[in-house]
Amino acid sequence: MLLVNLKTEDLVQIITPVIALVAVIIIPYIQWKIAKRQAADNISSKRQIWIDELRKDFAEYLTIASRVEELRRRDKSDITLKEFDDANLRGLELSIRIELRLNPKEDLHNKLVESIQELFRGLSNDVSDETTEQEMVVRKNFLENRSAIVTQLQAILKYEWERVKSGN
């Protein structure tokens, strides 16, 4: 009943401060929500790049590790020695890049680093006086270590992908 008797000028004097008050409260809230979403999108985008780079480095690392495992059993010509040394050096570089990308505060990441180091240690063993039976055991260990690395990496990548999807 009170609003019916009000003149237009009176309504404007009441509505204007109410609108201003609502704008002062709602607009910053909306801006905060937008900024929060943009920050989450930025983090997710960087995490996706991290996932892709880690996957790429591991694929190359495991390929090179397999090549080193093969080369160390070949006759040692100058070409084979150079290729072996180059592959070893590239494998070392990749293992360092991978370790630098992993979080030392996360158990899964630490287990993965241990598996990488175990695989690398196996590749540095001397095979010159190795019997066929020993070679089979070493090869089996190499394949098991490589498989463990893949499994551990898949668990990490799955966890990180879920974080990307959820925007965290």
The pLDDT of residue 168 is above 90: no
pLDDT score at 97: 94
pLDDT score at 107: 94
Q: What is the pLDDT of residues 141-154, one digit of tens each?
A: 899 999 999 999 99
State how far the Cα of 116 lies from the Cα of 134, in Å rounded to an integer.
Answer: 22
120's CB contacts (< 8 A; 6+ apart) are 65, 91, 92, 95
User: For the structural domain made of 48-166, what CATH number should be given?
Assistant: 1.20.120.340
State how far the Cα of 96 lies from the Cα of 113, in Å rounded to an integer.
Answer: 10
User: How would residue 1 be classed by pLDDT, with cut points 50, 70 and 90?
Assistant: very low
> What are the sequence ranges of the domains in the chain?
48-166
State how far the Cα of 39 lies from the Cα of 65, in Å rounded to an integer.
Answer: 38
Q: What is the pLDDT of residues 55-89, one digit of tens each?
A: 999 999 999 999 988 888 777 777 788 888 899 89
pTM of the full structure: 0.73
pLDDT score at 27: 87
Are 119 and 146 in contact, with CB atoms under 8 Å apart?
yes
Residue 5 DSSP symbol: T
Determine how many CB atoms are found less than 10 A away from the CB of residue 91. Answer: 22
Please state, rounded to an integer, the average pLDDT across all residues of the chain. 86
State how far the Cα of 153 lies from the Cα of 113, in Å rounded to an integer.
Answer: 10
